[in-house]
Structure 1
């Protein structure tokens, strides 16, 4: 067999296995908004689905703009799983319009969202408060994937959509879903154990992504960021004073945001910066690890 023939055979095998859209053949082509959703869909769909992610690793779902190639790939997509992140407010209608046959599933339906946490502030009479008040302007927290109990709701939406689009594998999806729910329950119990006796204690973050996580386990996040922006010098001073008064020595940041302000606070309080990624690919192990980090930093 000549080299030319071998190359031709390899090309045929490749083109049979992968469509021009980038999806594998003989699978349900699916798009999700963020990386953790890929974890959820793969847990339920396993080898029956091919999942592409809109917001690429390292990018922020608050400001992301889809690439031309992604918009093209949507023409072959059967399901788009939305989750309510900021970029969807601008792009979801455009995404849906690229493919009238694509089903758009809003996995945040049925979830009661909480207001985004406010940064620490001076209430005017000398007493400091944490993040018990909303930012305002009607901003609701989109980070619902960081609460195990809420992920169970999202998983049910994913299951229903996959069963509807691919009824021949209904029982397979159901079995995978049940196994995933068992894993989430085990994680939830682990985190409850980690935070047992820690109710009301606080951890400091730059971006307030962990509100649902904190709510689930009775702890509080104290944000540095002010409505998506770095704090002004006077606001930063208040944050530093609050951290000193409460013995906070760890500032949590995420890779998608600048750590500049967090590093200033850490330097002033003699503390340090620790990364906690809300968009990590291995959702389950990431939450378990983040839980341990928060526990070690609680004050």
Structure 2
């Protein structure tokens, strides 16, 4: 689905969602006083996997997490069903990232849940185009797709440092939503932040000395990661994983691959690898997976966020010709 079709369908989904909310409001109220389920756990709704991971890691045994985006579904294409809208209204806590899923944004805005957290407000979002990273912050190759994001790149969870900032904010907000378990949330937040700090160190050390600093990917989702570790991301298209590159962009990437000694074209698990394989075939490059972690499936190279990020590090080290021990 290209971005124009997605935006058209999003308008239809938003209208249907609004109608569902109006209908549900006649027969249901807002969340219960404590937003708890029958087991006394805080009912948490997470929009897609990076938000689910935070909620589960920080909430631990005191939360019951429902994810709106099922495994294998491309998050940007999510269509909400009436049952999911109802879950939103009944939640005690909602965690999402505004701009990733317009249909979700519309439903959340109308759900009226007191403890609703936009993860994008817990750190600083930045603008990234198809070419990103290093010290020059090159944003000159098109608009990057994802018109619903404006100039902001939403893929902030791929930077362990920024993800840790978000984790701290989520911990504080869960303490407010469920004060009875504030101590547990604070402890779990500290434990998760420590893991993310270790992951950051592994990336920094593992990518310190490489033969090239440039990598090519179909989905320009790795702008934050590239900037964090002094790499240069060259996206075939933009932030939208399904947008098609122009012939001029393909020619440009062929030149970049030769000049920067690029070895690999990366694709992702939730989108087609056709464009990556075509470019790789034309330039004599390898292909491999670099996972933007928008969802976990049985094809993911890891069971959770940390596992997939470790697999991403291994893939980058191989593609960039990293030197030294990992």
- TM-score (ref. length: structure 2): 0.75
Q: Helix, strand or coil: the match of 1:108?
A: helix
Aligned to 2:44: 30
Q: Is the 8 A contact 2:211 2:320 kept in 1?
A: no
Q: Is the 8 A contact 2:221 2:239 kept in 1?
A: no
Q: Quote the Cα distance in structure 1 between the aligned partners of 2:211 and 2:180.
A: 47
Task: Tell me whether 1:287 sits opposite 2:306 in the alignment.
Answer: no
Task: Using the TM superposition, give the Cα deviation of residue 44 of structure 1 relative to its aligned residue in structure 2, in angstroms.
Answer: 0.9
Task: Using the TM superposition, give the Cα deviation of residue 266 of structure 1 relative to its aligned residue in structure 2, in angstroms.
Answer: 0.9
1:1-299 correspondence runs (5 A): 25-88=39-102, 90-98=103-111, 100-118=112-130, 132-134=138-140, 135-136=142-143, 138-198=150-210, 201-226=213-238, 228=240, 229-279=243-293, 280-281=295-296, 282-298=304-320
Q: Quote the Cα distance in structure 2 between the aligned partners of 1:199 and 1:158.
A: 38
Larger radius of gyration: 1
Point out where structure 1 has 5 or more consecutive residues left out of the alignment.
1-22, 121-129
Q: Quote the Cα distance in structure 2 between the aligned partners of 1:268 and 1:246.
A: 16
Higher mean C-alpha displacement, 166-175 vs 237-246:
237-246
Task: Using the TM superposition, give the Cα deviation of residue 96 of structure 1 relative to its aligned residue in structure 2, in angstroms.
Answer: 3.5
Judged with a 3 Å threshold, the aligned counterparts in structure 2 of structure 1 residues 271 and 80 are, in CA distance, closer, same or farther, namely same
Judged with a 3 Å threshold, the aligned counterparts in structure 2 of structure 1 residues 232 and 83 are, in CA distance, closer, same or farther, namely same
Q: Quote the Cα distance in structure 2 between the aligned partners of 1:102 and 1:198.
A: 48
Q: Quote the Cα distance in structure 1 between the aligned partners of 2:223 and 2:314.
A: 16
Q: Is the 8 A contact 2:263 2:285 kept in 1?
A: yes
Judged with a 3 Å threshold, the aligned counterparts in structure 2 of structure 1 residues 158 and 226 are, in CA distance, closer, same or farther, namely closer
- Which consecutive aligned stretches of 4+ in structure 1 deviate over 4 angstroms post-superposition? none
Q: Helix, strand or coil: the match of 2:309?
A: helix
Q: How many residues are matched?
A: 267
- TM-score (ref. length: structure 1): 0.81
Q: Helix, strand or coil: the match of 1:158?
A: helix
Point out where structure 2 has 5 or more consecutive residues left out of the alignment.
1-36, 297-303, 322-326
Judged with a 3 Å threshold, the aligned counterparts in structure 2 of structure 1 residues 105 and 227 are, in CA distance, closer, same or farther, namely closer
Q: Quote the Cα distance in structure 1 between the aligned partners of 2:64 and 2:310.
A: 26
Aligned to 1:4: none
Judged with a 3 Å threshold, the aligned counterparts in structure 2 of structure 1 residues 131 and 118 are, in CA distance, closer, same or farther, namely farther
Task: Using the TM superposition, give the Cα deviation of residue 110 of structure 1 relative to its aligned residue in structure 2, in angstroms.
Answer: 4.2
Task: Using the TM superposition, give the Cα deviation of residue 207 of structure 1 relative to its aligned residue in structure 2, in angstroms.
Answer: 1.0
Task: Using the TM superposition, give the Cα deviation of residue 164 of structure 1 relative to its aligned residue in structure 2, in angstroms.
Answer: 0.8
Q: Quote the Cα distance in structure 1 between the aligned partners of 2:104 and 2:185.
A: 29
Task: Using the TM superposition, give the Cα deviation of residue 235 of structure 1 relative to its aligned residue in structure 2, in angstroms.
Answer: 2.6
Q: Is the 8 A contact 2:172 2:186 kept in 1?
A: no
Task: Using the TM superposition, give the Cα deviation of residue 91 of structure 1 relative to its aligned residue in structure 2, in angstroms.
Answer: 3.4
C-alpha RMSD of matched pairs (Å)? 2.5
Task: Using the TM superposition, give the Cα deviation of residue 184 of structure 1 relative to its aligned residue in structure 2, in angstroms.
Answer: 1.0
Q: Quote the Cα distance in structure 2 between the aligned partners of 1:161 and 1:73.
A: 20
Q: Quote the Cα distance in structure 1 between the aligned partners of 2:127 and 2:280.
A: 27
Q: Helix, strand or coil: the match of 1:31?
A: strand
